[in-house]
Amino acid sequence: MKQGIHPEYHEVEVRCGCGATWRTRSTKKELTLEICSSCHPFFTGRQKLVDTEGRVERFMKKYGEVTVAGRRQQEADRRRRAARRAATS
Ligand SMILES: [Zn+2]
Whether 9 and 25 have beta carbons less than 8 Å apart is answered as yes
Domain 1-48, CATH 3.40.50.300 — does that match?
no
What span, in angstroms and rounded, lies between the C-alpha atoms of 33 and 62?
37
| Averaged confidence pLDDT in the chain | 83
Determine the distance separating the centroid of ligand 1 and the alpha carbon of 34, expressed in angstroms: 7
Q: Which residues surround ligand 1, an ion (CB under 5 A)?
A: 16, 18, 20, 36, 39
What span, in angstroms and rounded, lies between the C-alpha atoms of 21 and 39?
12
- pTM for the full predicted model: 0.43
Determine the distance separating the centroid of ligand 1 and the alpha carbon of 45, expressed in angstroms: 14
Looking at residue 11, its pLDDT comes to: 94
Q: How many CB atoms lie within 10 A of CB 7?
A: 8
The predicted-structure confidence for 38-52, as pLDDT tens digits, reads as follows 888 777 776 655 566
Residue bearing the bigger pLDDT, 67 or 5: 5
Determine the distance separating the centroid of ligand 1 and the alpha carbon of 8, expressed in angstroms: 26
Looking at residue 39, its pLDDT comes to: 85
**Is 70 exceeded by the pLDDT of residue 88?**
yes
Looking at residue 67, its pLDDT comes to: 72
End-to-end Cα, the chain, rounded Å: 79
Determine the distance separating the centroid of ligand 1 and the alpha carbon of 72, expressed in angstroms: 27
From 49, 20, 24, 50, select the one nearest 35 (Cα to Cα). Answer: 20
**10-14, 15-19, 67-71, 75-79: range with lowest mean pLDDT:** 67-71
- Laid out side by side, the sheet with 21-26 consists of 21-26, 10-16, 31-33
